[in-house]
Structure formats: structure tokens, C-alpha cells
Structure 1
Amino acid sequence: MMPVCCFGELLLRFSPVVQGEWIRQAAMPVFVGGAELNVATALAKWHVPVSYSTVLPQNSLADDIISYVVDKGIDPSGIVRFGQRVGTYYLPQGTDLKNAGVIYDRAHSAFSELAPGKVDWDTILQDTSWLHISAISPALNANVAATCKELLAVASAKGITISIDLNYRARLWQYGKTPVEIMPELVDYCTVVMGNIWAANTLLGIPVDPQIHIREDKNELLAHALATSEAIQERFPRCKVVANTFRFDMLPAGLHYYTTLHVNGQQYVSSEYFTDSVVDRVGSGDCFMAGLIYGLYRQEAPQSVIEFATAAAFGKLQQMGDATNQSITDITTRLQSATF
């Protein structure tokens, strides 16, 4: 089978224990990640041929990282070497990338130095059947956004299936452009769009009810997901598949999770999952995206696709680190105990 290529910035996540305990312990866990690498890692674990494309500097730290990528079963041939540093971010243990706890340290990273014309995308995409990117990359700066468009244009011309994760990071998008000025022209190339009704509003300008999250009525949310999916497909004719995720915190602790998939004019709804505690929220959405690609790549039935992706994403919430290490058996076993 022809491989999937995941493109995006590799990041090192420093995960300090809260309230200064990391200082007293003189230790801070480090995880190799980045949204697109997390997707690639899961796909490799599930025996889907996958390559990874990013930019890393020519130094020993980057050499170690590439060895790590290879050890995960990922083809590193799409990694380009230039620049001076690897991007990093700090996220205190137990917090979420979407909240104010994240501290980015990725300015002037090698990846941020991308610009149109610097990479031979024809070579990177040789023998590729599927390209995956996310909305994080074009959020970095104008040159990276233009490079994303260049990459997508080449992939589209080759007839490659293109998926995008509409992951919004409020701490990014600091270069004078709003997401709705950049993202629509990128999504215009995409076959598969994953996100949620709020991300579709922020990144694409698709209308959203501003009070719907307060009511948290499932039937209302599912109807809104359908309307959002139809609006995306109407606006972006290349888009054939739209997936929406719903993840709500429960008081005093815990989480409620379910998702939808819209394809061929029909919306499919996943099982519901509940948990009283979460080990690590980072990478759950990436695991869902990997599950989505896994099922669609294998041309499985839509309900099977959404069930597998949802079970995988929920399982990642109980694993420390950026990428999942769940096996296919782990996920299918969880499916058997899901709430339908």
C-alpha cells in the first residue's frame, strides 16, 4: 500500500510538575511530539505505512530525535535539515493545550524558517497516497502558511488524498493574520476535515451558536454538527468527509466524549465514553485523527471508522505522553464495552 505522509513541526514537550515541584525534584519529563508526529506514530503502531516530513537542524539533538522516529517505524525520508533549533513548549502536568497553562518556545525554530521554494515537495510526496497536515503549522507565520499552501497545491495536483485537523491554538496566530484569512484557502484543497463546531467557526467562519456549549444538549449538538458538516462541504467542494468531536469536562472531575462523521450525505454518531479521571489530555485529538485516517485508508464502513477513532482517542486520555502506544487489540477491546 502507498504510504501516508504527515507534515508538521516536531516539538519537544517539557512537562513540569505543578507548583514548583519540578525545581525541588531537579527533573522535568520530556516528550517528543507534535500533532502530526503523534498521528504518524499511531499509524505506524497500527501497521499503516507512514512517513513524516518536518524541518530539523543539523545537530546531535536532532540526530537523536530522528533515531527515535525511525524506532517508531516511521519513514524519516521527508525530514529536511536546516535551521538552528528544535521547537519546544512547556505544559504543566495535568493541564490542557487549549488553556492558558501552555508556554510556547518555538520562535526561530528550524520549522519556522520554512518558506515557499525551500523544499522539493515532488520528492517528499513521491509514492504518497495520503497527506495529513494541521492548522497549527499555518498559525506560526506568514511564510509557513504560504509553504503549506504550496505543499497542498503539489499534493492536490498529484491526486493525493489530503486531510486536515482544525486544531486551534489561541497562543499562536500572532503575526497579523486571523485564522479565517488563511485557513479557507488551505481547506479548499482538503478531502477530509476534522475538528469541532467551534473550531470550524474560528478557523473557517462557519456559523456557531455561541450558547450551545452552555446547554450541552446532545441532540442539539448533533444537529449543529450536521449543519456544520454540510456547510463545510458546500463551501469546500473537494471535502468528502467531515468529523466533529465533542469533549466535555464533568464536575467535580472526569470527562464525557463522543464524535460524529459526515460522509455521503449521512451523519454517523459514535458511542459515548465517560471517565472519572484523565492521565494526559495531550494527543487525544491526534489519536482520533489517526484513527480516522486508519479506517478511511482501509476503506472501512463509516460507522466502523468513527467507532475505532473515538475509542482510540478516549484510550489516549489514560496514557502519559504525546503519542499513543495502544494496539489495535487494545482499541477493539474497548469498543466492546462502549455505551451505544
Structure 2
Amino acid sequence: MSRIVTLGEPLMRMTPPGFQRVKETKEFQATIGGAELNASVNLANFGHEVTFVSAVPDNDLGENVRKFLRERNVNDQWVKREEGRLGVYFVEEGYGPRSAKVTYDRTYSSFLQVAGQEWKWDAIFESCQLFHVSGITPALSSSLKEFTLQAVREARKRNVLISFDCNYRSKLWSEEEAKLAFEQILPYVDICFAGQKDFTHILNVGPEENFHPSLLKKYFREASQDYGISLFACTNREVIDSQSHQLQGFLFKNDQFIESQKHSIQVLDRIGGGDSFAAGILHGMLEGLDETSILDFGMASSILKHTVKGDHSSFSEDEVFEFMNAHLHDVVR
């Protein structure tokens, strides 16, 4: 297995029970999440040595996050204690035709302080094979945008593979702001998670059109040539209602475009499904699986996440392989 470093903000997720609305509920269930943290936990479940770079408040909430990480075998050595608060987000779960709704409350969080700190990059990236970060981190502030760029440059200096999940959030920044940041980050990236909307809305590589695999293949190939990225992957989701989705995966590597079958899935909790997909793809790549198996493992990891509550899944490598071999069919080329 590999040593992996991730960078991101931990969040406390607050969810009303029984599909209640946030503005009406009198109670919340609290869990820990955040895009890069979710990927960290999933990768640790697969057996990798994962180190999370972040910051939390120096209080009991911060200790709750650190304990959460340690219990899931994620190294919290580089999770600093800083002034500020723990970011929170509220999830109003969808039901039937009613869509889910997310409200962020992360202003003045401790994580914003990481950009002003000294970091021992040699120690952080020692014996590291992969660095993973998402587009959420540079979206949080101009200083975190520069810090993200600094981190990927430090990883590149040490010949560490760099994984970037675009993960665009319109509530955090504009498409124009994201485009400027992504164009600075992508030249350093080896593995990129980006869908058709990322290419048309953020990178402006073509007009907005209905999703089609042939367009995605074209965008993957062009971006691979423009930025030198060796692997692209994404999913495309069709929502029937809040509990019934169709999910399809795509992968581009070595000029080979692979698409999975469309999988009809029953959804208990969709949050973190993309992070589980990314973790599965990264695991398959690091373990030297062939392109078809990499995509299958990523899809199996994502589908399983949809069957459990919370932001991350608890499935091991063996459990994902078992599900993959039992339920996933051959890919369509």
C-alpha cells in the first residue's frame, strides 16, 4: 500500500432526523465530514497510510475531529490547533421529488489559518506517493488558493503524484474565480476528477451541451494534451427522485476512454459518493489495476457509499472487490 497526504477542511455535518426541514427541526444529528477528509477515510479503509493536513479549533470540537481521524487510522500529526471555529454545514435530506439542500456555515473557521503557518514540507511528504486535494480548498479564500498552489508545487518538487478533484461549489465562488485558480493548479496535476460541466462551465473548452460520452472523451483528450494530465475520471448522475439514481462512470488513461454500464441505485445518502469514487479510482491506480478494473473499483466504492449514512463509507478493499465482482458488469468501450 501507499503513503498518501491529503489537504482540506474538516466540517461538522448537521442533519435533521426523518427528512425534516432545517428551518423547522428541533434536533440535529452531528457527524464529521468534508470532501478531502472523506477521501482520506476511504483510502485508509483500503489499507493506505493516510496523513491529513488541516487545522481545527483548540477546543473539544477540534478534539472530536482528531479523535474521529485517529479512530479511522488517518494520521492527524499535521492537523494543527488554531484560533477560530469548526466549520459546519447543514443537510436537509431530500425525499421523493424534493431535492436535498445544503447550507454552509464555515466563516472564520480554524482551517482558514493554515495559509499563514509554517509547514515542514519535507516531513509532510516524506516517502509519500500521492497528494490529494480538491477545488473546495482554494475556493474558501484567496490565501487558501495560494496555499493550495504552494502545496501542489511542494509535492511536485518531491516527485509526488498529484490528484485534484475539481469539486466546483457555486456557493463558494464564481465560475470565473474557479477558472483562474484551476488554470494555475492543473499544470501540476497527474490525476484529475472533472465532469463535462467542469469543462464547459469552468474551463470554457466548449459550449454548454447535454451530456454525451463522446463530448466527455473529447474534453478529456484535449485537457490531457494541454495540461499533461495522465488520468481523468468522473461520474454522471441521472436523478429519478431523491432515492433513485442512475450512475455511470468514465475514465481516460493512455488515450483510452472507458465507460461503465449505467447502474440504477437506491440512495440512502448521496453525500460523499464522489469522494468514495475518487478514493476508489486512486486506490486502483496505486495498486496497479488495469484501466477497466480501476473504473469498476471506483464505481463499486461509490455505489456502496450511497447505501450508508454519513459522509464517508466504512467498506474495506475486500468488501469493495466482493461487491464489484458480484454486481458490476463489464465496461462498455
TM-score using structure 2 length: 0.91
> Who is 1:229 aligned against?
220
Deviates more, 1:136-145 or 1:124-133: 124-133
Q: Shift in Å at residue 332 of structure 1?
A: 2.3
Judged with a 3 Å threshold, the aligned counterparts in structure 2 of structure 1 residues 119 and 21 are, in CA distance, closer, same or farther, namely: closer
What's the offset of the Cα at 1:228?
1.1
Give yes or no for the alignment of 1:102 onto 2:102.
yes
Instruction: Assess, with a 3 A threshold, how the Cα gap between structure 1 residues 100 and 258 changes in structure 2: closer, same or farther.
Output: closer
Query: For residue 249 of structure 1, what is the amino acid of its counterpart?
Result: V
**Is 1:288 the equivalent of 2:277?**
yes
Give the structure 2 partner of residue 322 of structure 1.
311
CA distance, structure 2, for counterparts of residue 291 and residue 76 of structure 1: 22
Give the corresponding residue for 2:262.
272
Letter in 2 for 1:316: K
Question: Is 1:262 aligned with 2:252?
Answer: yes
Q: 1:117 to 1:188 in 2, by over 3 A?
A: farther
- C-alpha change, 1:232 and 1:21, in structure 2 (3 Å) is closer
1:251/1:110 Cα in 2 relative to 1: closer, same or farther (>3 Å)? closer
Relative distance call for 1:27 and 1:243 in structure 2 (3 A) is: same
Does the CA-based 8 Å contact 1:271-1:307 persist in structure 2? Answer: no
Secondary structure of 2:169 counterpart: coil
C-alpha distance in 2, partners of 1:201/1:107? 29
- % of aligned pairs identical? 23
Look up the match of 1:186: 185
Residue 37 of structure 1 aligns to a residue whose secondary structure is helix
Q: How does 1:1-340 map to 2 (within 5 A)?
A: 1-17=1-17, 18-20=19-21, 26-94=26-94, 101-115=101-115, 118-173=118-173, 178-207=177-206, 209-213=207-211, 221-237=212-228, 239-250=229-240, 254-275=244-265, 277-335=266-324, 336-340=326-330
Q: Which has the higher strand share?
A: 2
Q: Which amino acid aligns with 2:214?
A: A
Secondary structure of the structure 1 residue equivalent to 2:27 = coil
CA distance in 2, matches of 1:122, 1:205: 36
Letter in 2 for 1:236: Y
Residue 164 of structure 1: how far off its partner (Å): 0.7
What is the CA–CA distance in structure 1 between the aligned matches of 2:224 and 2:116, rounded to whole Å?
Answer: 28
Q: Decide whether aligned partners of structure 1 residues 327 and 240 sit closer, same or farther in structure 2, where only a CA change above 3 A counts.
A: same
Q: CA deviation at 1:292?
A: 0.7
For residues 262 and 150 of structure 1, what CA distance do their matches in structure 2 show? 27
Paired letter, 1:250:
I
- Work out the CA distance in 2 between the residues paired with 1:250 and 1:177: 31
Counterpart code for 1:50: V
Q: How many residues in Structure 1 have an aligned counterpart in Structure 2? A: 325
Render the CA deviation track for 1:154-209: whole Å, top value 9, x for unaligned: 000100000011111111016x96211111111111100012111233332332x5
Q: Is the 8 A contact 2:94 2:101 kept in 1?
A: no
Tell me, which stretches of 5 or more residues in structure 1 are unaligned? 214-220
Q: CA deviation at 1:127?
A: 2.3
| 3-state SS of paired residue (1:53) | strand
Change (3 A) 1:197 1:324: same
Q: Evaluate the alpha carbon distance shift between residue 325 and residue 94 of structure 1 in structure 2; reply closer, same or farther with a 3 A threshold.
A: farther
Contact kept in structure 2, 1:246 and 1:258, CA below 8 Å: yes
**For 2:234 and 2:68, how far apart are their aligned partners in 1?**
31
Partner of 1:216: none
- Residues 161 and 191 in structure 1, CA contact (< 8 A), matched pair in contact too: yes
Letter matched to residue 307 of structure 2: Q
In the alignment, the residues of structure 1 paired with residue 44 and residue 126 of structure 2 have an alpha-carbon distance, to the nearest angstrom, of 19
Question: Is the contact between residue 165 and residue 192 of structure 2 (CA under 8 Å) also seen in structure 1?
Answer: yes
Give 5+ residue unaligned stretches, structure 2.
Answer: none
Amino acid at match of 1:13: R
- Assess if the C-alpha contact under 8 Å between 1:165 and 1:194 holds in 2: yes
Residue 302 of structure 1 deviates from its aligned partner by 0.9
Separation of aligned partners in 2, 1:125 and 1:81: 20
1:276-318: CA deviation from partner (whole Å, max 9, x where unpaired): x311110000000000110111111111101000111011111
**Cα displacement (A) at 1:94:** 3.2
- How far residue 135 of structure 1 moved from its aligned partner, in angstroms, is 0.4
Aligned counterparts of 1:187 and 1:299: Cα–Cα separation in 2: 23
Report if aligned partners of 1:13, 1:90 keep a CA contact under 8 Å in 2: yes
Q: Deviations over 1:84-118 (max 9, x none)?
A: 211111111237xxx78211111110112332654
In structure 2, the CA distance between the partners of 1:252 and 1:183, relative to structure 1 (3 Å rule), is closer
